[in-house]
Amino acid sequence: MPLFSIPSSKISSAVSFRMLAVTACAITAMTVMTSCDAVAQATTEGKLPEVELDTTAGKIIIELDAVKAPKTVANFLAYVKNGHYNGTIFHRVIPNFMIQGGGLDGNMKEKKTKPPIVNEGGNGLVNKKYSVAMARTNDPNSATSQFFINTKDNAFLNRSAGNAGYAVFGRIVKGLGVVDAISGTKTSSKESGDIPGMRMQDVPVTAITIKTAKVIK
Where do the domains of the chain lie, and which CATH numbers do they carry? 29-215 (2.40.100.10)
Give the integer Cα–Cα distance in Å for 157 and 184: 21
Amino acid identity at 12: S
Distance between first and last Cα of the chain:
38
- Indicate the pLDDT class of residue 38, thresholds 50, 70 and 90: low
Write down the mean pLDDT value for the chain. 86
More confident residue, 67 or 33: 67
Rounded to an integer, the average pLDDT of 25-44 is 48
Tell me: pLDDT of 131 over 90: yes
- Residue 47: its pLDDT value, please? 85
Full-model pTM? 0.82
The angle subtended at Cα 187 by Cα 168 and Cα 205, nearest 5°, is 115
Give the integer Cα–Cα distance in Å for 61 and 2: 33
* HEC assignment per residue over 93-128: EECCCEEEEEEEECCCCECCECCCECCCCCCCCCCC
Tell me: pLDDT of 167 over 70: yes
Looking at residue 40, what DSSP letter applies?
H
* DSSP three-state, residue 41: helix
Amino acid identity at 149: I
* Percent above pLDDT 90 for the chain: 77
